[in-house]
Copies of this chain bind each other. A is one copy, B any other.
C-alpha cells in the first residue's frame, strides 16, 4: 500500500517524525501525555505570581515538605526537585556512573523499555543490558542471572510502553536481590497513580532511588517538574552538587504550581483514574475484538499489541488513515506497536474503527 517514495520515509520513522502532527482528521495514539487539564488549584496561583529569583538547587522547601508527607519515614532532605523525571534519571545515572561500585559499568532494564533509558544510560557513560520479560513482566530468573554484573537496575512499574504492573512479590524480590548485592535500584514510578489492579507498591531500600513527576498525575507535562527520593543521602548530596553546575534550580513557578497541585483533593486523582480505566477497557476490548494478541494494560495509558510487519502498519495507518501509532522497535519490541490511549472515548472508538478498516484491506 505504501508508495516507493514512502519506503524511504518508513525506514526513518521516529517519535520525532510525529511531533506536532495534530488537528484536522488525525487520531493520535502516539504521544503519551494526558489530554485532561491539571487541577484548577495548579493554575489558580498564576495571576498573582511575582517571584523570579533563583531558588534552592534542591527545590523549594515547601514542595519537598509536601512530598515528605507522602513518603514513609521521610524528610525534605531526601528529595531533589528536577526538570521532570527525565532529569531525575539523568542526574542519578550520571552520579552513579562516577562512583566506585560493585558490578561492571552496566545498568539492567526490562525489555520492552521506555525508549529513553538505553540512551540515558549511555550518555552517563554506562552500558544498558536487558532482562527478558514474560507476558510483559520481568522474568525473575533472567533478572537474577544478569543483575550480578550490574551497577544499577531501572524498574518501571507501571511500565511505559507495556502498560503492565509487576507483582508485589516480584518487586519485593528485586528489593532483596539488589540490597544483597549493593546494586542501585532506580524505580521510575511516574505512573504510580494510574494503576487499575492494586495500590502502588513503593520499592524501598538503602540504595533505592525513586523517580517521580507531576507530569502524569497532575497533567502538567510541559512544566517539567519531577523529583527523586532516596534514603541514600550521599547520593542526594552528589545529585545536588551536579545539578548546581548543570541546570541549577528547577523552574521556580513550575514548583509553585506543583505544590498547589498537591493541595487538590484526592478525588482529583481518583476521578482521573476512572476516566483512564474506562478508556483502558474500551481499547483493550476493541483490540481483542479486532483479533490482536495483546497484554491487558494494568496501569499507565499504553497498550502494546503484536502486529505483523509493524513498519507497514504504522506507516500505512498514518498515511492512509490519519492514525498515529508508535513502532515497538523504539521500545525494544520489534514485533509490536505501542498505542497511547490518552484521548477521549470518541477518539478511541474512531481510531479503532479505522484500524479495523485498514486490517480488512491489508
Contacts and interface: CB of A to CB of B under 8 A. Distances in A.
Interface of A: 16, 19-20, 31, 33, 37-38, 43, 46-47, 49-57, 83-84, 86-87, 90, 94, 116, 119-120, 123, 125, 219-225, 241-242, 244-254
Contacts of A46: 46-47, 49
A252 B222 contact: yes
Nearest to A32: B54
A119 B243 CA distance: 11
Contact of A247 (B16, B53, B83): B83
A87 B249 CA distance: 11
A223 B253 contact: yes
- 6 closest Cβ pairs, A-B complex: A222-B252, A47-B47, A116-B245, A251-B251, A90-B246, A119-B245
B253 A86 contact: no
A243 B16 CA distance: 13
A252 to B, nearest CB: 4
B52 A20 contact: no
B56 A20 contact: yes
A307 to B, nearest CB: 25
A16 B241 CA distance: 10
Contacts of A120: 245-246
B251 A54 contact: no
Given A224-B248, A224-B251, A247-B247, A31 B50 contact: no
Contact of A90 (B86, B245, B250, B252): B245
A222 B59 CA distance: 11
Contact of A84 (B50, B90, B248): B248
11 contacts: A20-B56, A31-B54, A83-B87, A87-B247, A119-B241, A120-B245, A222-B253, A224-B250, A251-B253, A253-B254, A254-B254
Given A33-B53, A90-B247, 17 more contacts: A16-B57, A20-B56, A46-B47, A52-B219, A52-B223, A54-B221, A86-B245, A86-B246, A86-B248, A87-B247, A94-B123, A116-B245, A120-B245, A222-B249, A224-B247, A224-B251, A224-B252
